[in-house]
């Protein structure tokens, strides 16, 4: 009897945790990793799907990341005001991440949370999506490229020097 009660309690807790972890609105990003250089802006697009039988108002986004400048301007422009029961938005631009310049190159995992709820001023967490910003190092030419450039310019410099020295002028 005691063993059965404990098993039921464990199953109840596990079910409660699983149901709590389920999103009200599923955020499916089109691409979960974007690459960019310091000083660039990356736009993430995706689809929102209401997983409930209720109307859910979509009132904004919040971010947890590594110090980027996040903008929900695309969300404010393109997102529907609400999703009806089991409705999907279709793909649209959700948010923009601007990488400050300078910024240390590397891979930065982040999350975006959709806020909203039963009314137009609700701020409940409706869904969460993970994304990664890959900051690339600024490109610098290889030393061999600079040498080839100088080697290519040397004959032109020699011709100009000879013309100046001999006093020759162009026709």
Residue 7 has pLDDT above 50, yes or no: no
**Confidence at 149, pLDDT banded by 50, 70, 90:** low
Taken in order of first residue, the domains within the chain and their CATH numbers are: 24-143 (2.60.40.10)
CA–CA dist 41, 96 (Å, integer): 7
Residues 66-99: tens digit of each pLDDT: 788 889 899 999 999 999 999 999 999 999 999 9
Please give the distance of CA 165 from its chain centroid, rounded to a whole number. Answer: 59
The residues near 128 (Cβ < 8 Å, ≥ 6 apart) are: 23, 27, 111, 112, 113, 114
The owner of tokens 């929900």 is 72
Query: Is the pLDDT score of 170 beyond 60?
Result: no
Q: How far apart are CA 116 and CA 162, in angstroms?
A: 75
Residues paired with 48 in a beta bridge = 27
pLDDT (0 to 100) of residue 39: 93
pTM for this model (two decimals): 0.70
Give per-residue pLDDT as tens, 39-49. Answer: 999 999 999 99
* Distances in whole angstroms, Cα of residue 41 to Cα of each of 57, 101, 144: 28, 11, 31
| Nearby residues of 120 by Cβ (< 8 Å), 6 or more positions away | 57, 59, 81, 82
- Supply the pLDDT for residue 169: 57
What's the count of helices (H) and strands (E) in the chain, helices before strands? 3, 9
Rounded to an integer, the average pLDDT of 135-161 is: 72
């Amino acid at each position: 009897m005691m063993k059965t009660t404990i098993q039921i309690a464990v199953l109840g807790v596990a079910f409660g945790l699983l149901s709590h972890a389920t999103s009200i609105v599923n955020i499916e990003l089109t691409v979960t990793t974007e690459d960019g250089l310091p000083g660039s802006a990356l736009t993430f697009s995706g689809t929102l799907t209401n997983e409930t039988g209720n109307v859910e108002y979509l009132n904004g986004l919040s971010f947890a990341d590594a110090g980027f400048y996040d903008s929900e301007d695309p969300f404010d422009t393109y997102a529907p005001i609400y999703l009806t029961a089991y409705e999907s938005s279709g793909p649209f631009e959700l948010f923009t991440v601007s990488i400050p310049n300078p910024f240390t190159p590397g891979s930065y995992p982040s999350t975006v949370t959709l806020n909203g709820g039963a009314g137009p001023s609700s701020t409940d967490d409706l869904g969460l999506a993970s994304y990664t910003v890959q900051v690339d190092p600024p490109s610098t030419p290889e030393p061999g490229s600079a040498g080839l450039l100088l080697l290519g310019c040397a004959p032109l410099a020699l011709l100009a020097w000879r013309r100046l020295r001999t006093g020759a002028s162009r026709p």
